[in-house]
């Protein structure tokens, strides 16, 4: 049995917003956006990725001198870019790669909440839906020599307009009585102690994370980090994807 805390999330688009989907052979749109049934949506993976990014930034900013608090780069060693390698070398991220259970000695805070390879986390991120209809926009590339639209570069793509409102419920497991897991405590029944970061102290209250109230942990790592997200989706260089996130 699970004891679950629900956060009602509202995302308001402060500019046109676009989260792309795979083009269907039945669609006349070159670049459609994500649609589930009759409603357009922001996928849970998009919001989860943005949340993870903010948690990483927070950990690097506040706890960069504590090894157990450093975030991992959630990918295999073979796909880490040269730029990411430099971040690891500069001490921003863990040197031992992504958190992978049971291989990794310890799980970083971001993976504790959101899940690691081989080990689920405590937070479930949903699809967020809007009732707004999509708008069709067009884009062309200008031929610099002719000063006119280049041949075969006229493309149409979908966006959702400024003011679109998306809603969904984030679920946080406070306790799983079957597994014997409790948010803020080391997880039992595992092959090794992987939640070592809980023995460190919060810079905000001076307590060990394992001594903090669950609501305070949720606020520090989830609610405040969600509210820091200011852009989602693609076409950011074109000014798209500016958002405001509110939590009930």
Measure Cα distances from 75 to 50, 84, 183 in Å: 16, 11, 25
- From 232, 231, 225, select the one nearest 71 (Cα to Cα): 225
Nearest-5° Cα angle at 48, 217 to 191: 65
Rounded Cα distance between 94 and 248, Å, is: 34
Residue 162 confidence (pLDDT):
95
Q: What does the block give as tokens for 132?
A: 């707004």
Q: Can you give the pLDDT of all 248 residues of the chain as single tens digits?
A: 899 999 999 999 999 998 876 555 444 455 578 888 889 999 999 999 999 999 999 999 999 899 999 999 988 777 788 888 888 888 889 887 789 999 988 999 999 999 999 999 999 999 999 999 988 776 655 556 655 545 555 567 788 899 999 999 999 999 999 999 999 999 999 988 999 999 999 998 899 999 999 999 999 999 999 999 999 988 888 788 999 999 98
- From 222, 218, 217, select the one nearest 205 (Cα to Cα): 217
Domain segments of the chain as ranges:
2-247
Rounded Cα distance between 83 and 127, Å, is: 31
């Amino acid at each position: 049995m699970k004891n679950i805390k629900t956060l009602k999330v509202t995302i308001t688009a402060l500019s046109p917003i676009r989260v792309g989907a795979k083009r269907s052979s039945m669609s006349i749109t070159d670049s459609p956006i994500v649609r589930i049934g009759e409603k357009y949506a922001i996928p849970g993976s998009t919001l989860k990725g943005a949340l993870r990014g903010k948690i990483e930034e927070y950990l690097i900013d506040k706890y960069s001198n504590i090894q157990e608090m450093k975030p991992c780069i959630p990918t295999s060693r073979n796909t880490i870019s040269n730029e990411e390698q430099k971040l690891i070398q500069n001490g921003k991220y863990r040197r031992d790669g992504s958190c992978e259970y049971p291989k990794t000695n310890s799980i970083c805070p971001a993976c504790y909440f959101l899940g690691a390879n081989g080990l689920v986390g405590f937070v479930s991120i949903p699809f967020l839906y809007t009732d707004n209809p999509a708008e069709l926009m067009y884009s062309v590339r200008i031929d610099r020599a002719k000063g006119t639209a280049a041949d075969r570069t006229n493309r149409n793509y979908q966006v959702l307009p400024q003011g679109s409102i998306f809603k969904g419920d984030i679920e946080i497991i406070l306790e799983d009585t079957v597994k014997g897991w409790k948010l803020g405590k080391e997880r039992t029944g595992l092959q090794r102690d992987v939640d070592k970061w809980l023995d460190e102290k919060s810079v905000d209250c001076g307590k060990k994370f394992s001594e903090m109230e669950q609501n305070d942990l949720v606020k520090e790592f989830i609610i405040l980090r969600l509210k820091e997200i200011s852009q989602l989706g693609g076409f950011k260089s074109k000014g798209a994807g500016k958002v405001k996130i509110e939590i009930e």
